[in-house]
Structure 1
Amino acid sequence: MAFKAINPERNFWNRFLKENNGSFLQSFEWAEIKEKDGKKVWFFKDENEKGITTAQFLLIKDSFFYNRKEFFYIPFGPVFRNDLVKKEKLSDKIVEAVKGLANEERVVFLKIEPYFSGLSFEKPMGVIKELKRIQPKRTIFLDLEKGEDELLKSFHFRTRYNIRLGKRKGIKVLRTNKEGKDFNFYLDKFYSLLLKTSRRQKFNIYSKNYYQNILTAFDQDFQSELFLAEYKKNFIAGSIVVFWNKIGFYLHSGSDYFFRNLKAPFVLLWEEILEAKKKGCLYYDLWGIDEKRYPGITYFKKNFNGEEREYPEGADIIFDRKWYYLYKILKKVK
């Protein structure tokens, strides 16, 4: 069989992902978030001779070079059936399925960043090792099946000290979602923290609407909440957490450097972990570490002493070599 573009029903699409440990970045809700952000999305699936789904992926059209050129992107996909043995046979099927659409949409290349190992592409098809990733290459997972005391004891002693210090100083944590009272007020406070953090650490952030879209994508499968640390009526740290398939994801965060001595991010993350446990999550994903690009936040996350995991290497499948060469230059400059 071959991958075909489909218009799936939400529950049907998400059920396959959840049964086969797929990422929330392949979810129906993530597709809606991207559409609200102005991106075009497509759903593809492959079936065997018996009509059973063997794999599926969400395809997103994104842009570069000041939005003048575009590329296709498969974030943490495709997702395979857990019992599928020869996954590599589907690799070239993905390219074949996307080729025609790539011509229609005039995209420069297809970027694939897999969540699972098993993909293997033929070199003559214009496949090269990926350049800079969009999603993190490495991350840290915390095991939430441990009891609360055991989990706390597993942290670095400085982390335990900072959590207790922040609480003694009077740090309070509140959480809200799209149904919460004064949601827009809290969203504004969070975005202000992101702006401060991005200026301090020199990284780009999205528009406020993008974070709002994540927080309003709330249903039985995909839940998102905003956590804020408060000190004497000042909001000094905040983060967006996504809950998906019994995993909590520490997706976006920011803090106010002026209040750094209060250790609010430590208290905040600990309260998020406890909330994830209450929701029945088995793991908490700290969502990306990189000592070279983000030394500060990586050091912070490593102090929680979780299990480090590395995702498989991705690939860029080139459709337009001239513009891809420009893309390479732009990535080297950044």
Structure 2
Amino acid sequence: MMARLSASEWESFLRAYPDTHVLQSAAWGELKRSFGWTVERICVGVTGAQVLFRQLPGGLTLAYIPKGPVGPAWDSLWPEVEKVCREKHAILLKVEPDGWEEESIPEGALTGFRCDGISVQPRRTLVVSLQGAPDAWLERMKQKTRYNIRLAEKKGVTVRPSSDVETFYRMMLQTGKRDGFGVHSLEYYQKAYDLLYPQQAVELLMAEYEERPLAGLMVFTRGSRAWYFYGASTEEERNRMPTYLLQWKAMLWASARGCTSYDLWGVPDEDEAVLEADFERRKDGLWGVYRFKRGFGGVLKRAHATYEKPLLAPFFWLYRWWARKRSME
């Protein structure tokens, strides 16, 4: 029997799945609710999903399950999810399962879905193992990255936890302009911090020199996993390599909270041979950060495909045309 759960009930359900992706956490759902999404948390037996609905023109919506469903019996969940989708006039159900391409999805779990959907979250990433002693992590890093971490410490850079989201946001604006990527609003970063910090699921770390902030990042955790979602730096004192020490301290922070993996979250969606051949000449898109991220000793991973199920066919195909066109701009 289907249950539609409150935020607190959903977190109770997730206790059986401690390593659930942070994007399926109740707090993340509340974050998205604060910025225009509707949230439904649907449970059937031991399986559930936090479904986000985005309003479209004409009273229609788009339904999206990021990094879910949670639990084993997906086939029993879909009829109930689709009932809610029909209530919300969803034109499609978009699902990005939590897991890696080489891991199998149970047969029949996504019957009726197309596996060629346009991804919302980056598919390719680098995941750093935090198992063993920190010296072992350093050994797996590129020599220059190890050097830059130590150089930052020698040159007087320090890293500390901070609650100064406004300063971080100003750095994000500089970084977005410099590197050509979009930036959320100050309110978005503040809300993410306010919702997840009380659960110790996020930390804002700042790298400073002589008490001047040079770089910052927001690292998120849940269970044994950590994710580096947002990072920024100023143009000041870049020769002191603050961003390298900042990542190192974030890894140490995550490890101290029981995390055994650190996801650097987003590199170009190419095979390793292509990445290694082209990273020095390309700076567009995620190429600009790959050169930096590759040095930390992570393993290149690719997430499952994005699956889509048409629910209102004419509108679905119109959406596909628009989304494809937008992705090529």
TM over 0.5: yes
- Report the residue type matching 2:38 in the other structure: K
How many residue pairs get aligned? The number is: 306
Distance 1:211 1:122, change over 3 A: closer
Q: Distance in 1 between matches of 2:55 and 2:244?
A: 36
Distance 1:324 1:197, change over 3 A: farther
Deviation at 1:63, TM superposition (A): 4.4
Deviation at 1:175, TM superposition (A): 0.8
Deviation at 1:291, TM superposition (A): 5.4
Cα deviation code 1:178-214 (max 9, x no counterpart)? xxxxx3xx21110011111212222222211111111
Deviation at 1:99, TM superposition (A): 2.4
Matched, 1:15 2:7: no
Q: Distance in 1 between matches of 2:77 and 2:200?
A: 26
Which residue does 1:70 correspond to in 2?
61
Q: Distance in 1 between matches of 2:59 and 2:235?
A: 36
Q: Distance in 2 between matches of 1:331 and 1:77?
A: 22
* 1:24–1:30 CA contact under 8 A, matched in 2: yes
Which residue does 1:135 correspond to in 2?
121
Which residue does 1:234 correspond to in 2?
212
Which residue does 1:190 correspond to in 2?
168
Cα deviation code 1:70-102 (max 9, x no counterpart)? 301100001124xxxxx5xx34x4432232322
Which residue does 1:50 correspond to in 2?
none
Which residue does 1:155 correspond to in 2?
141
* 2:98–2:303 CA contact under 8 A, matched in 1: yes
Cα deviation code 1:39-60 (max 9, x no counterpart)? 211111122xxxxx2x111111
Matched, 1:260 2:247: no
Distance 1:69 1:235, change over 3 A: farther
**Backbone CA RMSD of aligned residues:** 2.5
Matched, 1:317 2:315: no
When structure 1 is superposed on structure 2, of 213-222 and 233-242 the one drifting more is 213-222
Cα deviation code 1:144-169 (max 9, x no counterpart)? 12212221121100101111122222
Which residue does 2:265 correspond to in 1?
287
Distance 1:168 1:69, change over 3 A: farther
- Report the residue type matching 1:79 in the other structure: V
* 1:140–1:301 CA contact under 8 A, matched in 2: yes
Which residue does 2:222 correspond to in 1?
244
Unpaired runs of at least 5, structure 1: 48-52, 82-86, 177-182
* 2:206–2:216 CA contact under 8 A, matched in 1: yes
Partner secondary structure for residue 30 of structure 1: helix
* 1:13–1:28 CA contact under 8 A, matched in 2: no
Q: Distance in 1 between matches of 2:193 and 2:234?
A: 21
Distance 1:199 1:311, change over 3 A: same
* 1:221–1:245 CA contact under 8 A, matched in 2: no
1:203-222 aligned within 5 A? 203-218=181-196
* 2:165–2:190 CA contact under 8 A, matched in 1: yes
Distance 1:17 1:30, change over 3 A: farther
Partner of residue 97 from structure 1, selected from 51, 57, 80: 80
Matched, 1:39 2:31: no
Q: Distance in 1 between matches of 2:171 and 2:151?
A: 21
Partner of residue 301 from structure 1, selected from 293, 298, 305: 293
Q: Distance in 1 between matches of 2:192 and 2:30?
A: 9
Unpaired runs of at least 5, structure 2: 271-284
Distance 1:144 1:122, change over 3 A: closer
* 2:149–2:245 CA contact under 8 A, matched in 1: yes
Which residue does 2:273 correspond to in 1?
none
When structure 1 is superposed on structure 2, of 217-226 and 36-45 the one drifting more is 217-226
Distance 1:170 1:298, change over 3 A: same
Q: Distance in 2 between matches of 1:199 and 1:299?
A: 19
* 1:17–1:23 CA contact under 8 A, matched in 2: no
Q: Distance in 2 between matches of 1:57 and 1:242?
A: 20
* 2:59–2:89 CA contact under 8 A, matched in 1: no
* 1:14–1:28 CA contact under 8 A, matched in 2: no
* 1:165–1:263 CA contact under 8 A, matched in 2: yes
Q: Distance in 2 between matches of 1:26 and 1:46?
A: 16
- Report the residue type matching 2:153 in the other structure: K
Deviation at 1:268, TM superposition (A): 0.4
Deviation at 1:11, TM superposition (A): 4.4
Matched, 1:112 2:98: no
* 1:144–1:281 CA contact under 8 A, matched in 2: yes
